[in-house]
Chains A and B, each alone.
Chain A
Amino acid sequence: MPSEMLDWTIADASLKIQSRQVSPVELVDTYLEEIAHIDGHLTAFITVAAETARQQARVAETEITKGRYRGPLHGIPVAVKDMIDTAGVRTTAGSKILAGNIPGTDARSWELLRQAGCILMGKTNLHEFARGSSTNNPHYGRCRNPWDPEGTRIPGGSSGGSAAAVAARLSMAALGTDTLGSVRKPAARCGVVGIKPTYDLVSRRGVIPLSWSLDHVGPMARTVADAAVLLEAMIEPSNRNRLNPADLQSLQGFNPREVRVGLIKGWWDSCCDDEVRDAFQQAMTVLSEGGCRIAEIEFPFMPQLFAAARVVAICEAATYHEPWLREQQEQYGGDVRSALLSGCVITARDYLHCLRVRAWGITRIKALFTKTDILISPCTMDPAPKLEELKGPKSLDIAFYTGPANFLGIPALSVPCGFSSYGIPIGLHVMGPHYGDRLVINLARFFEEATQWHRRRRPPVCK
């Protein structure tokens, strides 16, 4: 049974935990054993919280035995991106600067998940300070894509360790942060589901900022339903009434025939390679055959909105890092240091103009969502490239499809929609109107059930 446990979804595991067919202790031990076997190669984790996990699992086991079952996340192993504070377990942000940073309290998003019964497996690898997309970390090691037997392809980033951990069965689910696509891109490249909720739905308190007005915290899991159950628990209780209806897991009332799916003309296919385009077109066929009404829409602003998003992101990151750039510049990896320094040079006038562009864009996207219910696009330009291919213009536009959703604050997710000829996953990007998180999730669930891409087995990870 142990190896079988690794393939369980949260839905599978919670049934077995609630009925006491399996103990959270057994589940956690099985995952810890798998981490010990393969993470030396994968480097998905910066810190494996083995003792914390075992202790939390024992507490969960005792509570469940005494009849105090908390709900579907009770006893579920979750890995947390190392940008998110976890009380008593270090949060390095993938940096040397914060190598000894042990927070006294949990980030609010993790606090809510812990209250729901989640167990902390460890802190996952990331691009240093979440400022990059390769998860090639100069201080803690290079994270590898678990779908690549040669170990040469990136898992995406910046939450690459979280995506790799879920894909490689080192954790049942994970948390990431997403500033221009850092949950969704690695989710797409590792064949898992990653959600970026509507801005402000999930608290950013206790999360080390990259860009405070673009940062989001989001879940990653193997199925849409699993990611939805996590997101539902992470939402700040005072924000739940903003969602209508608030139940993110229910498909009640969802009818694909009533869903208008928009493709932004001249944008969706303007920056992707042939393999991604083919997978995306097949996805459109699935949605169309399922009854969705697909139409091309005029909205010729995405490249400019993305450009403005990039400027806002680097200005805010540079502002946050300015004291360290002044005093501990040599502690950064070369790529992150240069990017942050270059951000210090942009003027306030240009930054403020980009914020005005954002306000303008939000009114436009709201108007667009009166004419369509959902927008879809590829999630990434290509399936996971090799690290050495991430140079030049290709690396700059890597968030081309995902960045605008952060800028506009709309909910978005990536769900697996196929594989490249060399066996690397490809993601479908689904976006909805503000607080339309449930519709985005419902459409992705419908797609997932129609395609079953999430059931494909990855090759064994080299040990």
Chain B
Amino acid sequence: MGTAFESNVAAPGNGGRRMGSALAPQVRPRGDATERYQQLADEDRGTGGESLADFLGFFSIGLGLAELLAPTAMSRVIGVKHPDDRTRSTMRLMGLREIGNGLAILSNQQPEKAVWSRVAGDALDLAFLGKTLSNPDNDRGRTLFATANVLAVTALDVMCAKQLSKQPDTIANAGVDKGIIRTKRSITVNRPVEEVYSFWRNFENLPQFMRHLESVAVMDNNRSHWVAKAPAGKSVEWDAETTEDKPNELIAWRSLPGAGVYNAGEVRFNPAPGNRGTEVRVTLEYDPPFGKLGSKVAMLWREEPGQQVQDDLRHFKQVMETGEIVLSDATKQRGMHPAKPDDKPVEL
């Protein structure tokens, strides 16, 4: 029986990928399932670089507090021999800027932008140090030392900002730098794989749960014609081809050249562990009209692609499990309205 003590020894025969196991062979998880889930976990890994950002955030706040609370002492540190009121208020303003920067970084809302703004702040600091250096009354040694320090921190800032700005190199993010939006979502449906697969495989069923689709008409085994809703009551149409079809496992499709909007999708089906039905995983990618900017504008109206795919999947689950999409008085139309019956027709 394997024990935890063997865990340093690479088990022969599996390419050293898995270490010796603390579990007896009969209770070890099945290899293929484990590998599949490990692969899913790896697809979602982050960018790294967050811990350096956190350090820089705290550094900003510490430095900022010192500048704000002890402007005279801090002025002496950088070599100003006789700090006057103007020096002190400049120092305090720089302190406030540092604190704001630090808070922005630590709040984790788009830290890469906050770190880039630190780089801009460093440039400002260097400009002020240059001015300090030009005044012969000041202590040149101290100012040069401070400048060297700021340069070192600037290097760190640039490094960190670059690291954070880089999109994570994952399957989920492939193509994102070219403006293609790629999103993946999943749901568990309490129906057998065969049933779930065949419902999806008939593309004409898709508009039943995909809100933005008006219709899909199957032309032949591989090709279909899609009509989707567009803003202002218009619609867009395109032809798509099925690029891969493994019964009960996988369906992939993509728009044919000439489509107004490039889009492609893939849905994978796996039996859920413990007889819980089917795990459905969807990956969609499309080239949004007006590129990245267009997608950002769309998000203002809550058309965030991931959320929409999640809503569609939830509706898919409802259709598969209960036969229809569940409505309430407050959700049968879009927009907030009270939970009470009205005479307006169902819209969703």
- Whether chains A and B associate is no
Residues of A within 8 A of B (CB): none
Residues of B within 8 A of A (CB): none
